[in-house]
Amino acid sequence: MQKTAYLKELTISATQKKNGAENTKTDVRKIQSWLTLYSMVHPIVATATGIDGDFGTATEKAVINFQKATGIPQSGIVNQNTFSLLCAPLANAFTVPVAGNDLRQLVVNTAVRHAQQNPFELNYAGQSNKGPWVRAYMDGNEGTPWFWCMGFVQTIIDQAASRLDKNFKKLMPLTYSCDTVGTTGLQKGLLSRYTTVRSNPSAVKPGDIFLLQKTPYDWVHTGIITAIGTDVFETVEGNTNQGGSSNGIAVLKRIRNFRQSKLDVFSIQPLVEQ
């Protein structure tokens, strides 16, 4: 893979514990982030805690509750084995191979695999668009200005392409900008405008990328198309929510009506044929 920032999210530098001599704020924030993410999927387990880099009594209790819920010794201490259990969703998304006979199937199945692991962003220190999932998709970048829908899309394309020893940068440059990808698509003749999509939806294939158009040269959101119906696309999108926001909090599977929304489509066919 070209995008390997996820590897930093799978390890801590040393065992972390209450008032531990080897504690680091970076590692403690990682632990607190994953405890909070766990609570978002398991709301009846009390693991949500402040993300401040301080391993105090609250974090220790949250760790104990996580250990109890997952059936491991309740020490309140986080070594690498415990941390690996905490961040297992990210490892499952990035490191467990998915099935697929060609690039398009791999793109779709990889996107679905990520959605199944419940990626969420976090909000702390007064900023949104933060946390291990965002950093993994955005090459270590995070914070309010870092909208991460294109980072998600390129991560999926990269991960799928790397299974076939293909380089996604031959299709498009590494970017976090929908505008850059849209402009690249126009220059390479790979972007179908929404009017063309509406008149000929059969030209769109699973694994292609939608770009939500604000104006003809301004795109505000993106995602992976996983299936095409008469009037709708099924998608997997990052940085969205139930309402389809372009600055939401999660990776979700969604349904988008391409006859009612201005959805331009970027074809990945050249990478398929590479």
The reply to whether 266 and 140 lie within a common domain is: yes
Per the structure, the complete domain to which residue 258 belongs is given by 100-273
In the prediction, which pLDDT does 244 show? 77
The reply to whether 11 and 138 lie within a common domain is: no
| pLDDT above 70: percentage of residues in the chain | 100
What gap in Å lies between CA 43 and CA 198, rounded to an integer?
41
**CATH number of the structural domain spanning residue 12:** 1.10.101.10
* Per-residue pLDDT tens digits for 13-59: 999 999 999 999 999 999 999 999 999 999 999 999 999 999 999 99
Predicted structure pTM score: 0.97
The reply to whether 126 and 205 lie within a common domain is: yes
Q: What is the CA radius of gyration of the chain?
A: 20
The reply to whether 69 and 129 lie within a common domain is: no
What gap in Å lies between CA 24 and CA 149, rounded to an integer?
30
* Per-residue pLDDT tens digits for 89-132: 999 999 999 999 999 999 999 999 999 999 999 999 999 999 99
The reply to whether 172 and 63 lie within a common domain is: no
Q: Which range is least confidently modeled, 3-7, 174-178, 181-185, 245-249?
A: 245-249
The reply to whether 17 and 71 lie within a common domain is: yes
The reply to whether 156 and 208 lie within a common domain is: yes
Of 91, 123, 154, the residue at which a domain comes to its end is 91
Token couple for 207? 């694994």
The reply to whether 143 and 46 lie within a common domain is: no
The reply to whether 71 and 106 lie within a common domain is: no
The reply to whether 169 and 252 lie within a common domain is: yes
Of 66, 91, 116, the residue at which a domain comes to its end is 91
Q: Which range is least confidently modeled, 8-22, 103-117, 183-197, 241-255?
A: 241-255
The reply to whether 19 and 113 lie within a common domain is: no
Contact 219, 182 (CB under 8 A): yes
| pLDDT above 90: percentage of residues in the chain | 97
The reply to whether 212 and 131 lie within a common domain is: yes
Of 91, 111, 146, the residue at which a domain comes to its end is 91
Nearest to 239 by CA among 230, 231, 247: 247
